[in-house]
Amino acid sequence: MTAISARTLVAGVAGAPVRHSLSPALHNAWLTASGIDGVYVAFAPPPGGFTRFANGLRGGAIRGLNVTAPFKEEALALADRLSDRARRAGSANLLMFHDDGNVEADNTDGVGLLDAFAVQAPGFNPADGPVVILGAGGAARGAAVAFLDAGAPQVVFINRSAARGAALADMFGERTIALAIEAATPVLRTASALINATPLGLHGGVGPIAPFASLARSSVVMDMVYRPIRTAWLEAATASGLRTVDGLAMLIGQAKPSFEAFFGCPPPQIDVRSLAVATLEG
């Protein structure tokens, strides 16, 4: 990275907490390798202060923000223009600040999800069977949009709150349903993928919902958590003989289109995963 000046392009990530974010390490490594005069920083707006913070950036003082929990729905609400995938997911993880004062929202989580599968589960085809998603938050919605667009014949939500799961199924239409875990065995037997879109892995648990024995041997299991990279959920899936995809691959995948939006070119082909692993282990 060159010395910061008035010409330096600035982008960043906003969340609460945000100290743990690997996004600055990824983007700044790409910037250095590209020779771009830019910097990517982390912002920690106070609780209840994200909308005020983001509105203060209108006019292009910085190029844009990645947005992480718990601000993704607020990010969508303050935007003047929405991409179709952000609208359908009901949340935004990318805001672009234009010179005319308008804010544009997008959601690259689904792009990152499919990129992670392409990298770590080559040959996976979401059209081969239903995709089962644990959870009903923004991450689950983003995953549903991605898999439906990629040709999944059905997306099944399993959530502790049956009402919330049913509401999501209604929102996405006829190719989505919500089931209780007790009723999910038949669909699990034909599932192409099982996605954990809950924070369970952050706490080192597998939890009461670990139906790996019901899955076909061709199914792929994913955990969106990347701290730790190999969650207990993924280790249990591996022990059951299933292929797995980790949250770090998704993080890197969603960062790629964000970098291009911020800095005008695709990220260079460098090994940012090893950098991220070293950061996590450091």
Catalytic annotation, residues? 72
Tell me, rounded to whole angstroms, the distance of Cα 261 from its chain centroid.
16
Rounded-to-integer distance, Cα 46 and Cα 69, Å: 13
What 8-state DSSP symbol labels residue 3? P
Closest to 179 (Cα-Cα) out of 190, 195, 168: 168
Query: How far is the CA of 170 from the CAs of 101, 134, 176, 178, 197, in angstroms?
Result: 35, 16, 8, 9, 19
**Residue 186: cis peptide before it, omega within 30 degrees of 0:** no
Largest Cα–Cα distance of the chain, in whole Å? 60
Tell me which residue of 193, 196, 220 sits closest to 130, measured CA to CA: 193
Find the helix or strand (DSSP H, E) in which 27 lies: helix 23-34
Sign of CA dihedral 58, 63, 69, 74: positive
Dihedral angle of Cα 79, 67, 88, 104, to the nearest 10 degrees: 30
- Fill in the amino acid letter for 47: P
Is 113 in contact with 143 (CB distance < 8 Å)? yes
The pair of structure tokens assigned to 103 is 């804010």
CA 103 from chain centre, in angstroms, equals 21
